[in-house]
Amino acid sequence: MNAPLPRSSCVAVVQAQGGQPVPACLDALSLALSLSGAGERTLLAILAPNPEPVARDLAGQYGCPTVAVSVADGASAGSLAAVLAGMVREAGAQWVCLGHTPFSADLAPALAVLAGGCCVPGVEAVERGEGGPVFSRSVAGGRLIQKISPLAFPAVLTVLGGSQTPPEESVGPAGEVVFREAGAAPEGIRSLGVLRRTGQEPGLADAEAVVAVGRGMGCEENLGAARRLAALFPRGVLAGSRPACDLGWLPHRCQVGITGATVAPALYLACGISGAFQHVAGMRGSRFVVAVNRDENAPIFHVADLGVKEDAVNFLPLLAQACEKRRKEGGS
Ligand SMILES: Cc1cc2nc3c(=O)[nH]c(=O)nc-3n(C[C@H](O)[C@H](O)[C@H](O)COP(=O)(O)OP(=O)(O)OC[C@H]3O[C@@H](n4cnc5c(N)ncnc54)[C@H](O)[C@@H]3O)c2cc1C
């Protein structure tokens, strides 16, 4: 028989891959911790083929009671949603937070339907409203911000990676860990596995630093310094605006924006990029944005934490050289 779950108004669902939590799921955990009532402990659900090591790590780090859900090979979102809906019911949860990942695009709505609540995808921020929390998310390709107040509960939220501050660690005792299983019963679709593209650089979605180049770089031959800067980070990736990809300087899988990838790195360095909303829609979740542009009126400066008004073609080699020198001297 399964060990009973503690009552909690908030559940954070964390996918783990390769023994690590998927980064966007830590944003979900942050939001769940902030939605939990005073003195209350958020319930954590870890989804992985072998969830126990990650479950024990996170239960220790955050002091949350944790359910290690072992996910059978080929388990569908439907079968996982059924297990999670049962847990949400048992815990009496009002809020369920997931990372905004391709997998949660299947899982979250199914879970909301099974649990009899509602689904709010792509949450970027929360504020206190008169009737409870009010969530914000980007719509119309990032041109508008929609405010949402859920009316049906439990409310299943998918949280944009990079939108929250990192979850606060607990100084208290580790949370207890209990176990559940999600079978492979196919419902609607059967997942045949997830493969890494051959020859692909580290994933844009999981990048720690993105160096993005735009038309302002002038030509492909000018991208060398941007490439060197990206290589200085363990999970650094070179990316581009749509023109940079359309011009053939970079493959299309490197495009950031509304018709490309959505990224949420700790650092986004935009070089020779104007800041059209179609581009900004894909990088606004970045934690710290540095923009290099020779036009002080370029819209990219509106979303930048640090703006450099310079010719990027001249500036980037100097920056790369300074960073490489610092790295050699033992700095970070
Ligand atoms: C339906 C649709 C979908 C789209 N999807 C995307 C998308 O997913 N991603 C995307 O990026 N775009 C997308 N676009 C295109 C988008 O509208 C912009 O045209 C594009 O983002 C502009 O790219 P850019 O900033 O590289 O080029 P530009 O707009 O040409 O800007 C170049 C910038 O570089 C600066 N500059 C020039 N020379 C230098 C120099 N030497 N040093 C420093 N700065 C310099 C200029 O001041 C300028 O600000 C889409 C458009 C449509 C209509």
Express each pLDDT in 169-201 by its tens digit. 998 899 999 999 887 665 666 667 777 655 445
Q: Is the separation of the CB atoms in 35 and 133 below 8 Å?
A: yes
Summarised one tens digit per residue, pLDDT across range 215-260 is 999 999 999 999 999 999 988 999 999 999 999 999 998 999 888 8
Res 288: pLDDT? 95
Q: How far is the CA of 279 from the centre of ligand 1 (A)?
A: 7
131 three-state secondary structure: coil
CB distance 313 to ligand 1 below 6 Å:
yes
Name the residue among 17, 78, 80, 26 with its Cα closest to residue 50: 17
What band does 144 get if pLDDT is binned at 50, 70 and 90? confident
Average pLDDT of the residues in 191-214: 76
Tell me the one-letter amino acid at 193. G
The larger pLDDT score, comparing residue 120 to residue 263, is at: 120
What does residue 83 show for φ and ψ, rounded to 5 degrees? Answer: -65, -45
| Per-residue pLDDT reduced to its tens digit, 61-98 | 999 999 999 998 767 788 899 999 999 999 999 999 99
| Residues 35 and 149 grouped into a single domain | yes
- Which residue from 129, 190, 136 is spatially nearest to 159, judged by alpha carbons? 136
Q: Is residue 107 part of a domain?
A: yes
> Where in the sequence is the domain holding 80, given as residue range(s)?
10-182
- What is the pLDDT at residue 309? 98
CA of 121 to the centre of ligand 1 (A): 27
H-helix or E-strand spanning residue 62: helix 52-62
Cα separation, 314 vs 311, whole angstroms: 6
Q: State the Cα–Cα distance between residues 75 and 189, nearest whole angstrom.
A: 9
Structure tokens at 270: 């935009």
Residue 131 CB partners (closer than 8 Å, separation 6+): 149
Helix (H, G, I), strand (E, B) or coil at 177: strand
Could you tell me if the CB of 138 is within 6 A of ligand 1?
A: no
Residues 167 and 75 placed together within one structural domain of the fold: yes
pTM: 0.71
Shared domain for 125 and 226, answered yes or no, is no
pLDDT at position 22: 86
DSSP element (H, E) containing 24? helix 23-35
- pLDDT band, very low/low/confident/very high, at 306 (cuts 50, 70, 90): very high
Specify if 189 maps to a domain.
Answer: no
pLDDT at 123 over 80: yes
Work out whether the CA dihedral 235, 241, 243, 246 comes out positive or negative: positive
Residue 61: CATH number of its domain: 3.40.50.620
Tell me the average pLDDT across 116-141. Answer: 92
Measured in whole angstroms, how far is the alpha carbon of residue 309 from the centre of its chain?
Answer: 30
Does the beta carbon of 312 sit less than 6 angstroms from any atom of ligand 1? yes
249 C-alpha vs ligand 1 centroid, how far in Å?
A: 14
Cβ of 91 less than 6 Å from ligand 1: no
Closest atom, ligand 1, to C-alpha of 241: 11
Segment 120-135 mean pLDDT: 94
Is 215 near ligand 1, meaning CB less than 6 Å away? yes
Does residue 141 share a domain with residue 89?
yes
Q: Is residue 97 part of a domain?
A: yes
Tokens 């990224």 -> residue: 263
What confidence score (pLDDT) does residue 189 get?
67
User: For a pLDDT cut of 70, what percent of the chain falls above it?
Assistant: 93
Asked whether the bond before 154 is cis by omega within 30 degrees of 0, the reply is: yes
Pairing, β 66-71 against β 43-48: parallel
10-20 pLDDT per residue, tens: 999 999 988 98
On whether both 46 and 149 belong to a single domain, the answer is yes
Regarding whether 221 and 155 lie in a shared domain, the answer is no
Residue 135, domain member (yes or no): yes
Residue 99 lies in a domain: yes
Predicted pLDDT at 200: 46
The pLDDT of residue 197: 59
